[in-house]
Structure 1
């Protein structure tokens, strides 16, 4: 038989005190959220009869999760980051804000301050062998008009599935650039074909996924922030067609309308015309922005992000 006491006045008074609701200091918003967290945690413990060993093993896990800097990876793997996108989609639909390129998760591996280029950029530092990839497309408004001067902030992994900054073997801002669209709304980049990646097999995210009977693999993908004055900021990514994990992404980032077709070319003359030798790849992807209903919508979220030290 499960004993339940969380509803009693003594326990509710305890949580009210612990949440700071009996004082006038601190954050009123955090107090309300904290009280709800404590109440819901107690209900979970009682309803599911969580044992003391399970409770303290969870506390230990949270310590290890924080020490690994994988919390951002775990929330993606548990579908919470995708849930936030679906929630925002529903909120938009409720007020009639529809259309444009779909949003999807940012993930935990963005680094602010990437070099800026006008119209086109070379993203890789030339130190890694890999298939050259030409990435190009246009940014349009809701009516199909090109958006000049938009910022296409793009980042992706290398051929090992690793990201610069987090992988210290790569040069600063390798495979990260901000490209300003030209008068026709075009952006162009030369890079290398990225690989997907998997959670560290010894890390706390994979530890949970394994207990859930799940893998921790992502398909090859390319991340984007798209922004322009007067338009809603877009956080999105394209997963590359043909990847084994395209529709089995552990982070739930693949969405209809966000699959990038990748074309490989073996033709030597075509390679020479592109200034490369051997096999190369091309990816074309256009973006359509919504008008910003309010000025704040032009900005990305204030989520904490890494910044490369000078």
Structure 2
């Protein structure tokens, strides 16, 4: 059947009613968005002749997979699409330059200790080499960014993040910190070497990836937020450029300019990486998004 079926008066009337367009209350913008979502879903059903069994199988998958939505969103490319969309809007507005943004992922934990100087991120034992990372945070003219706070978090050598570790062997803020930078914009930290990881075996994300012929692996990487008065907040991460999955990250976080190759000496690695921020147009630019994030008890 042709998707023109969705444009018939009966179906269009259903979509209007389902989105509340014939009701006086509610948010008009949300009504329009909901209507477009339902119509897009209806067109997919018709275009691919989706059966009743297939439809409810998909609903069941989403219900069971709800705890992994934080992985499904990057794995399906939607989180990276948001970055591409924001980049395009920036370019349209003439906002260029600065360190590329990339996905946050689902594993940030709010409230990490605020520290200064050369910070040791790793609080728990880990039988692996060490990572040493340092650099500067500057503005668009190369000026040091004052009063900046750099949030940093990464996995341990087993690929587990503290707070989310199913082995429960890590303290809540292992390999996590907020670093208050000095007036010269310099930062430095060291930690036990992070490793790449795979999505949970047999989980919703793994099931989907295998069904479409993809893998669920991420390279070794380190996450960052940077916020400072007068500058746009930056959400980004660096992937280790020599990791086998650096060019094939299931979460699409790899971007040009975010692939430093560590200088390796024995079992330790050294990365020098500078961040450049854009100026904020207003106070809203300075703050993290309103995404719901985990908090340690």
Secondary structure, aligned partner of 2:150: strand
Structure-2 separation of matches of 1:225 and 1:16:
41
| Separation in structure 1 between the aligned mates of residue 132 and residue 256 of structure 2, nearest angstrom | 23
State the partner residue of 2:236. Answer: 236
Residue 280 of structure 2 is aligned to residue 282 of structure 1: no
- The corresponding residue for 2:148 is 150
Is residue 2:132 matched to residue 1:134?
Answer: yes
Q: Give the Cα–Cα distance (whole angstroms) in 2 for the partners of residues 65 and 32 of structure 1.
A: 27
Instruction: State the alpha-carbon separation in 2 of the partners of residues 21 and 44 from structure 1.
Output: 22
2:78 is matched with which residue?
Answer: 80
Give the distance between the partners of 2:189 and 2:226, measured in 1 at CA: 15
Deviation at 1:185, TM superposition (A): 0.8
What is the deviation of 1:38?
A: 1.2
Residue 111 (structure 2) aligns with = 113
2:54 corresponding residue in structure 1: 54
Q: TM-score, normalised by structure 2?
A: 0.95
Contact 1:82 1:105 in 2 (8 A): yes
Give 5+ residue unaligned stretches, structure 2: none
Which whole-Å deviations, capped at 9, do the CAs of 1:201-244 have from their partners, x for residues lacking one?
A: 20111111111111110000000001110001000000012100
Contact 2:134 2:188 in 1 (8 A): yes
For these two proteins, the number of residue pairs brought into alignment is 295
What is the RMSD computed on CA atoms of the aligned residues?
A: 1.4
Contact 1:226–1:234 (8 Å) recurs in 2 = yes
Q: Deviations over 1:128-172 (max 9, x none)?
A: 222121121110111112113211100000101111111132101
Q: Helix, strand or coil: the match of 1:5?
A: helix
- Look up the match of 1:174: 174
Deviations along 1:15-52, one digit per CA (max 9) or x if unpaired, are: 22222222233333322211111111111111111111
The alignment partner of 1:83 has SS state of helix
Q: Does structure 2 conserve the Cα–Cα contact (< 8 Å) formed by 1:105 and 1:235? A: yes
Bigger mean CA deviation after superposition, 29-38 or 193-202: 29-38
Q: Within 5 A, what are the aligned runs for 1:212-291? A: 212-266=212-266, 279-291=267-279
Preserved CA contact (<8 Å) 1:4 1:46: no
1:271 alignment partner in structure 2 = none
Paired residues of 1:230 and 1:291 also in contact (CA < 8 A): yes
User: Secondary structure in 1 aligned to 2:6?
Assistant: coil
SS, match of residue 223 in structure 1: strand
Match of residue 287 from structure 2 = 299
- 1:262: Cα distance to partner? 1.2
CA shift, 1:2, in A, is 5.5
Please tell me whether the aligned partners of residues 19 and 34 of structure 1 are also in contact (alpha carbons under 8 angstroms): yes
For the residues of structure 2 that align with 1:157 and 1:179, how far apart are their CA atoms?
A: 18
TM-score, length basis structure 1: 0.91
In the alignment, which residue of structure 2 is the partner of 1:201? 201
* TM-superposed deviation, 1:87: 0.8
- For residues 31 and 2 of structure 2, what CA distance do their matches in structure 1 show? 29
Aligned to 2:29: 29
Instruction: List runs of 5+ in structure 1 lacking aligned partners.
Output: 267-278
Q: Following the alignment from structure 1 to structure 2, what is the Cα–Cα distance between the partners of residues 71 and 260? A: 29
Report deviation, 1:4.
5.7
Q: 1:94 aligns with which of 92, 95, 100?
A: 92
